Structure 1
Amino acid sequence: MDFTECYGDSVSSVAAAARSGSRVRVRRLIRSGCRVDLQDNRGWNALHEAAAAGSRECVQEILSAVGGRSCVGSRTYVNSLTHEGESACYLAAQRGHLAVVRLLLKAHANIDQLTNDLSCPLYAAVDSGHHDVVKLLVSKGAEVNRTHTASCWTCLHQAVYKGRSEAVRILVNVCDLEVVDDHSISPLFVAAQYGQTDCLQLLISAGANVNTQAADLATPLLIASQEDHQACVELLLQNGADPNLACSRDWPQLPVHAAAEFGHISVLRRLIDVTDRRCDCSPGSVSPLYMAVRKHQSVETLLQEGFSPDAQDCSDSLGVRSPLSFALSLASHTPCSESVRLLLAAGASLSEQDWIHALATDRTELLELILEYRWIPRLETVMLDCSAPRRRGRALLKQQELREMLCVALSHLRFACCWLPVLLKAGLEPSLLLQPDMLEQADSEVLNYLLEFVNWSTLSPPLKHILDKRRAEKTWEPHTHFDLIPRLSHMCRLQLRQTLGTDLLMRTDVVQQMPVPTPLHSFLKFRDISEPLCMARLHHRL
């Protein structure tokens, strides 16, 4: 290539003059024999520079200079490309130079020439918001439904994405409104996703399908709900968007689920009004509460609107039994612990899996949280399987819930040093734990702590046999006073607890209201007994 007429940066003299927009200088250089087809290190020639600069006069001068060539040669020059595959027409359209584009088209510029990255003059004009250029190119027959970019977007997709409402107004009259990209996403879907309300309205008015679905079945209403585009949600609903159309192949996801998951409360309330309540508890459906557990504001809203705290069992579809189980599994995160609190306050049922989350650990926060909202029933209530009213805002544990709690506790005795003090102080009848497994496997300190809450002298012969065997094997080191008859003071507090009920004694101020000396209050509530040392818990705190 001949660079004898080029500057040090490889831009030719004519190209440099064209860049500056100097028609007089361009004409003089051409007449002096300077070439217009020399390319710089980007592949740009004088016509590229003039078109990019928007100098209609320079473009005209350059085109006149090549006009004497053959028709084929002239067209070849007009459509010459930079190293990026950009034509002069593309550069002018990209920069909004309407007069230059018109002149180049008259000179037979290829209106649909693609660049290396699959763009074209129309796509560039749309992307940059040059609506007059868009209008010209469309009127001259530019291909409007061609796909561009790696994701196969059309000009209409890009116009909507950028919020070029004037370009959309032009394109909706000539484009395929249902054209989709490589994920089967239509322009209307894009408008809903990016909150382009004006573009969405134009597409709807032109007849675009408001219930179009992407490859994964997501709908415009789902994506607008997920992104909290309230105006788009309202516009879609007003124009026939179906809030009950399943939006996932894996489980029956609805827009209300997306709003709940991301905590978009205003959108959530709007969708609750129009969503079929079968999603609340019906088998095969999924309650929005499952999606809401990470956003306790959503949980609160759904419960206020009457959604069941228990919902349906979604073990098959989501791998969790209930919203509470899901929240408990995530409760190390503050929003989820608040969701646990809200679900418990609303009366959510506890399952065996839920008790595992609370008991099979060296942490007691979840167990304490549960017991804030659940009252452990008296022994006679458990035996009779009868119900009792709520007490101080707490619901009574159902017999099944209590049975499962005890089963889980006795199956995880290595954590008994953590859960045992919490349960006994919450009013659990100690005799319920006087089981062979407990006495055979519990740590020595745990066993001593439990025996302090009972009359150890009246244990049944089988249980005494287990204790004697452990003592002989030196796997249990009992307190010395366990060989004696309990003191009268201990017998008195046992009788008081039996009379009042463990729940009232341990969880209310009933003792403080009795005519007994204040120093006895702690003793009567068994607070003088030292808790067993939990090494794992101590290590965690350190």
Structure 2
Amino acid sequence: MALVSASVSQASNSGLALEDYSIYNQLSDDELLALAIERSLTNSPSLSGNQNQPGNQSSASRGETSGGLSSLRTGQPNGPNRANPPQNQPPEGAAAQYSSHNPPADKLFNPKNFSGTVSHFITGQGKRMVAYRKHDGALVHVCPEPEEEDGPLFAAIKKGDVRQVRALVGQEHSQMSSKPGWMAIHEAARHGQEACLNVLLTGKGQGMINMRTAQDQTALLLAVSYTHAACARLLLERGADTELMNKDRETPLYKACEEDNAEIVAMLLNHGASVNVHCNQGWTPLQEAVCRNNVEICEMLVQAGARLTPANVYGISPLFTAAQSGQVATLRFLIKQGADVDSQATDGATALYEATKNGHAKIVELLLSQKADANKASKRGLLPLHIAAQNGDDILVPMLIPATTKARIRRAGISPLHVAAEYNMDDVLELLIQADFDVNAQLSHEHSKLYEDHRTTALYFSVANNNVDAVRMLLEAGADPNLDLFNPLLVAVRGGCMETVTLLVEHGADVNAYLATHPTTFPATVLFAMKYLSMLKYILDSGCDALACFRCVHGSSPHPPMKLNHFERDEMRYTELNMTELTARHCVQFCEMVSIPSMCRWAGPIIDVLLDYVGRVKLCSRLQEHLDSYPDWHPIKVRATTTPPLMQMCRLRIRQVVGVQRLRRLKTLPLPGSLLRFLVYKEVLDAGGTLGGDAGSSQQEPTWPPQTPT
């Protein structure tokens, strides 16, 4: 196209690189054209020379259009940059050089003599434009679409000139507009000109009273839509049909309710308008009145025979509409008239459910006082209490708890505790715990399989969200930390949250938890804690089996190549597998795990920590290779190959006698404080000034020093 070449030339002359082009570069030529013309209409062109000459005016108009299009391509606000004019400007007075194939015309464009194609389009600001093109597609001229001039009769109607209307009404074709189907009576009803409408309806005009526009609108429908009560009364008295609908199947009564006009509603009802007609969406006039909380119109419609039960295409009844939109007055009226408070929409939601979802406390209170059933679930299986918990509404939750049965919640397969924990609604979680909801309730299989890790408890949700306060509340209320397929302790360890790990361990979480879907020969807690040495030491202090890390099936013999793939090694996704698949899978050994690229640099420090919690062990050939790879790790290898000190052997024996269960609750054991610190490798000075504990240990102090029981 010519305009495209013009824009490229403009850009190259301005010295703009390709990356300087704006987002307008993504627009089509027609869209760019529309925007450029819109700018040319809003910004008057600055012309040099005599602006009154016809040739100069046409050139300026066309030049402004081309410049606007180029400015869109280059991202400039209005043609070339005023602050940085383009180089190689032609000398003043020189002939203009045009890169476009359509240079400015010398004569004004005359659309009457044009023989090409004409297209119409609308700009972004709603302006109607006309584009004239040659048969080969080249643009010739663009201009605003000429406005349609009103005929004398329509002009007189707008002014309300009754005398002029009476004089023109008998002329042939005077009552027709250029708009398809638009007649003089429509114009009078649209502008509320009652006197002019009365003149138009006399004599032969009476037969046009029910004529429709292109949108199937009658004069009565237009008068009602624009709330012209006087015109509507005149049309009804002259016999206008109250049942004729527009293309959306909306009757005049429906539009009157939509406009919230009680006067016109009464007028239409007195002339026999039907009250139970549905529009395309299935709505009735009553639902429109309910939506606007107009009790007066609702009363008139019900007295005229409006039904309370009809539903729209979504199964929504008028009472549901009142609850959904929070209209207390109309809801109370409908209940008084006998509407069903437990009616359900297509998706199974009740009025109580919808009012809860939208947070309408007064509506919920009114429905509950009318014995609305809080145990009716939606098709998703959720009750109103679930939705209130999800929204964290601590006002509605106490109202719904007494109305909801525990048996119905168990049948739903999901507890409100799950929802509150998932969305971190701690206040609601506390209310539900105080209401004695089961903190160990588990998701049904249908709900659990929606999560990749197949979580089942509310505690898991809180741990996964790293919500320490919620974890503490659930554990103190008696939540079991070992119910999920993937232990919540592993989630906390993997996330590196020491506070959550401590809470879970102190409340009985299994420090020797394994991954059923990714079997290993050593506890999975060690697997996830290897990147956090302080956390690894805490897990080992709490009784984690460190000896399992040194059991290798290959021993001192050469190890075969590792069979771990990237999926097993790094992603650690948790899917449900049957036992046959589990036994057939390769069990990962500790020496294999520390050999992956992301962990091999930490093999020495990790082995050094583990050696504090084992007696005499024999390193396999792969672990020895790791310790030989760095000179600084030589002391660790020496330590692993020598007999442990007697102090360490005594400590390990005492820890073995105490047991894993008691080590988790070490603070509560009736043992001397020095012995408790000794069991967790806390180095202290005794009364004689010597070190109590393992002076040869290379590890730092644990992150949580146990307190001496009182």
Q: Same fold (TM over 0.5)?
A: yes
Alignment of 1:92-491 (within 5 A): 92-149=223-280, 151-173=281-303, 174-245=305-376, 247-251=377-381, 253-279=382-408, 282=410, 285-293=413-421, 294=423, 295-319=425-449, 322-324=456-458, 327=461, 331=465, 339-351=470-482, 353=484, 355-356=486-487, 358-359=489-490, 363-365=494-496, 368-375=498-505, 394-397=506-509, 401-402=510-511, 404=513, 410=522, 412=524, 415-418=528-531, 421-426=534-539, 427-431=541-545, 433-434=547-548, 436=551, 440-443=591-594, 444-445=603-604, 448-457=607-616, 459=617, 464=618, 467-470=619-622, 474=625, 477=628, 479-487=637-645
Tell me how large the CA RMSD over aligned residues is: 3.8
**Compared CA separation, residues 208 and 414, structure 1 to 2 (3 A):** same
- Does structure 1 retain, via aligned residues, the 8 Å contact 2:176–2:184? yes
Gaps of 5+ in 1: 1-6, 376-393, 532-542
Amino acid at match of 1:74: Q
Amino acid at match of 1:290: H
Q: Deviations over 1:55-89 (max 9, x none)?
A: 2212111112xx2x2xxx733x1112222222110
Between 493-502 and 351-360, the greater mean CA deviation after superposition: 493-502
- The CA distance in 2 between the partners of 1:13 and 1:318, in whole Å, is 74
TM-fit CA distance, 1:489: 6.8
TM-fit CA distance, 1:25: 3.2
**What SS does structure 2 have at the residue aligned with 1:456?**
coil
TM-fit CA distance, 1:279: 3.9
TM-fit CA distance, 1:158: 2.0
Other-structure match for 1:383: none
**Compared CA separation, residues 209 and 127, structure 1 to 2 (3 A):** same
TM-fit CA distance, 1:236: 1.0
- The CA distance in 2 between the partners of 1:172 and 1:363, in whole Å, is 64
TM-fit CA distance, 1:211: 0.7
Other-structure match for 1:38: 176
Relative to the length of structure 2, the TM-score reads 0.60
- Does structure 2 retain, via aligned residues, the 8 Å contact 1:359–1:419? no
Q: Does residue 23 of structure 1 match 2:162?
A: yes
- Does structure 1 retain, via aligned residues, the 8 Å contact 2:463–2:500? no
Q: Does residue 50 of structure 1 match 2:188?
A: yes
Structure with larger RCO (C-alpha < 8 A, sep 6+): 1
TM-fit CA distance, 1:447: 5.2
Amino acid at match of 1:288: P
Amino acid at match of 2:162: R
Amino acid at match of 1:322: T
- Does structure 2 retain, via aligned residues, the 8 Å contact 1:406–1:433? no
* Larger helix proportion of the pair: 1
- Does structure 1 retain, via aligned residues, the 8 Å contact 2:185–2:197? yes
Q: How many residues are treated as equivalent by the alignment?
A: 480
**Compared CA separation, residues 283 and 47, structure 1 to 2 (3 A):** closer
- The CA distance in 1 between the partners of 2:294 and 2:344, in whole Å, is 23
TM-fit CA distance, 1:42: 6.2
Moved over 6 A (4+): 406-409, 495-501, 504-510, 517-527
Other-structure match for 2:206: 74
Between 435-444 and 168-177, the greater mean CA deviation after superposition: 435-444
TM-fit CA distance, 1:254: 1.8
- The CA distance in 1 between the partners of 2:352 and 2:457, in whole Å, is 24
Other-structure match for 1:386: none
Between 16-25 and 83-92, the greater mean CA deviation after superposition: 16-25
**What SS does structure 2 have at the residue aligned with 1:309?**
coil
TM-fit CA distance, 1:189: 0.6
Alignment of 1:483-522 (within 5 A): 483-487=641-645, 502-503=663-664, 511=677, 516=686
Amino acid at match of 1:261: Q
Relative to the length of structure 1, the TM-score reads 0.77
TM-fit CA distance, 1:475: 5.4
TM-fit CA distance, 1:258: 1.5
- The CA distance in 1 between the partners of 2:241 and 2:696, in whole Å, is 92
**What SS does structure 2 have at the residue aligned with 1:27?**
helix
**What SS does structure 1 have at the residue aligned with 2:212?**
coil
**Compared CA separation, residues 439 and 504, structure 1 to 2 (3 A):** same
Among residues 148, 162, 185, which one is paired with 1:9 in the alignment?
Answer: 148
Aligned-residue identity in percent: 28
Between 445-454 and 175-184, the greater mean CA deviation after superposition: 445-454
- The CA distance in 1 between the partners of 2:201 and 2:259, in whole Å, is 26
Other-structure match for 2:699: 528
- Does structure 2 retain, via aligned residues, the 8 Å contact 1:126–1:167? yes
TM-fit CA distance, 1:53: 2.0
**What SS does structure 2 have at the residue aligned with 1:167?**
helix
**What SS does structure 2 have at the residue aligned with 1:116?**
coil
- The CA distance in 2 between the partners of 1:515 and 1:219, in whole Å, is 70
TM-fit CA distance, 1:20: 2.7
- Does structure 1 retain, via aligned residues, the 8 Å contact 2:323–2:331? yes
**What SS does structure 1 have at the residue aligned with 2:334?**
helix
Amino acid at match of 1:302: L
Amino acid at match of 1:182: V
- The CA distance in 2 between the partners of 1:321 and 1:263, in whole Å, is 22
- The CA distance in 2 between the partners of 1:526 and 1:36, in whole Å, is 108
Amino acid at match of 2:399: R
- Does structure 2 retain, via aligned residues, the 8 Å contact 1:260–1:291? yes
